[in-house]
Amino acid sequence: MGMFDTIIVNPKFSLPMPKDAKGYVGSKDFQTKELDNFLETYEIRKDGSLWKRNYQKENKEVTWKRDKCGTIKINIYDYQESNNGDFDYFIEYELIFAKDKVKTVKLVNFEATNNTQRKENQKKYDEQCAKRKKFVDTWLFKNILVHWNKFVGIVYRFNTKVLGLLSIVNFKLINLKF
Judgement on whether residues 101 and 28 belong to the same structural domain of the protein: yes
Buried b / exposed e along 143-175 (16+ C-beta atoms within 10 A): eeeeeeeeeeeeeeeeeeeeeeeeeeeeeeeee
Which one of 115, 131, 153 terminates a domain?
115
User: pLDDT (tens digit, 9 = 90+) per residue, 16-33?
Assistant: 999 999 999 989 999 999
Give the per-residue pLDDT at 166: 93
CA distance 157 to 31: 43
CA distance 83 to 106: 28
CA distance 144 to 152: 12
Judgement on whether residues 106 and 124 belong to the same structural domain of the protein: no
Residue 39's domain comprises: 5-115
Give the per-residue pLDDT at 1: 58
User: pLDDT (tens digit, 9 = 90+) per residue, 118-164?
Assistant: 999 999 999 999 999 999 999 999 999 999 999 999 999 999 999 99
Give the per-residue pLDDT at 149: 92
Lowest-pLDDT choice from 40-49, 55-64, 71-80, 141-150: 55-64
Judgement on whether residues 149 and 163 belong to the same structural domain of the protein: yes
Instruction: Of 16, 31, 35, give the one whose Cα is nearest residue 97.
Output: 35
Which one of 100, 115, 130 terminates a domain?
115
User: pLDDT (tens digit, 9 = 90+) per residue, 68-106?
Assistant: 888 999 999 999 999 888 999 999 999 999 988 999 999
